[in-house]
Amino acid sequence: MPETNLLGAELPELERIVSSLGDRPLHARQIYGWIYARRARSFQQMTDLPAALRARLEASCSLAYPRMLRVDAARDGTRKYLLEPAGGGQVEAVFIPEARRITFCLSPQIGCALDCRFCHTALLGLTRHLAAGEIVGQALVLLEDNERRIDRLPVNVVMMGMGEALHNYDQTLAAIRILSDARGVGIPIRRITLSTAGLAPAIRRLAAEPVRPRLAVSLNATTDEVRSSLMPINRRHPIADLMAACADWPLSSRERITFEYVMLGGVNDTARDARRLASLINRHRLKAKVNLIPFNAGSGLPFAEPPAATVKAFQKDLLSHGVSVSVRANRGRDIAAACGQLALSEAEAASH
């Protein structure tokens, strides 16, 4: 019989597995804590479990972390990880250090099916969805490998790596529940952000979840014509539907939706675009902030990075219309770890 990988199992599943092994389900809570909070790599480390249960777990289950194939370190301290998940294939995750926090950029899929024209991951197409344990495993690898770098800084998680998180809805949400559980990995849910290209029905489904991350929407255009040319998903879920779903998103008093806006030189970066973007946000009375992301040029895609003056003028226009806005710093650009650059190497991609 193949081994059952317990990495990614939530507590009810662990209770079922322990019962199937002929032991009391109460031990599942101990196993859950060992796997996620204490990050045990073997069942023999779980010293408060009965020896017979440990032996049965050893014989029938595994704790299969993603295998670390390579780490690239950027000049700014960003680290890009090439990982081999338990189910095979290769995926990338990114560690981003900042003065007051650490950010993990995790991937919910190998590749992506949405074919956004400005994103390198889109060039791969979709290889497969990742299981919950393969997503959680990325975070555990980054925690383990960067323990000294993290020290006591808080860790943020962004589901902004390879793939569309809401296209792999169930596994992504299971991973988020484990990551945010105080008995699990213990990253507060307010520090976890899910980014989507705009799957409006899934946004509405996510809004009803009892454990709900913060929402970031990759908007990138202010008209359906331009957005559909950049993001084919817009033909199924146009801007009006997307903004309506965002308007219904429940927000705490201090929470805002983030609209990510990749600025493409001469495509979506005019003063008229800025005014339309402000109008979209204000017309729907959204508590929102805009994150401007200058395109990372120089890698073969047919777009240009806008001049710094254009980015600054766009930001100023949004501010003048009462929209909160920031410009994302390009981190890890020299190792192709910045926004939209996760695409594996040419040789790695060819193996999928």
Tokens of 325: 């806005």
Question: What distances in angstroms separate CA 325 from CA 293, 313, 314, one per listed residue?
Answer: 11, 12, 10
Tokens of 111: 């590749």
61 given a catalytic annotation: no
Question: Does residue 103 come out as left (phi exceeding 0), alpha (psi in the -120 to 50 range) or beta?
Answer: beta
DSSP letter, residue 8: T
Residues 203, 196: Cα–Cα separation, whole Å: 8
The catalytically annotated residue of 112, 116, 246, 339 is: 339
Tokens of 151: 């020290």
Residues 44, 66: Cα–Cα separation, whole Å: 20
Residues 72, 292: Cα–Cα separation, whole Å: 26
CB atoms within 10 A of CB 308: 10
Closest listed residue to residue 209, CA positions, set 241, 240, 249 = 249
The catalytically annotated residue of 15, 92, 134, 164 is: 92
Question: What distances in angstroms separate CA 107 from CA 150, 171, 285, 311, 343, one per listed residue?
Answer: 20, 12, 31, 28, 11
CB atoms within 10 A of CB 204: 15
116 given a catalytic annotation: no
By residue count, the chain amounts to 352
CB atoms within 10 A of CB 202: 18
List phi, psi (to 5°) of 99. -60, -40
Residues whose CB falls within 8 Å of the CB of residue 301, separated by 6 or more in sequence, listed in order:
117, 118, 120
Residue type, 78: T
Closest listed residue to residue 181, CA positions, set 57, 350, 297, 14 = 14
The residues annotated as belonging to the active site are 92, 339
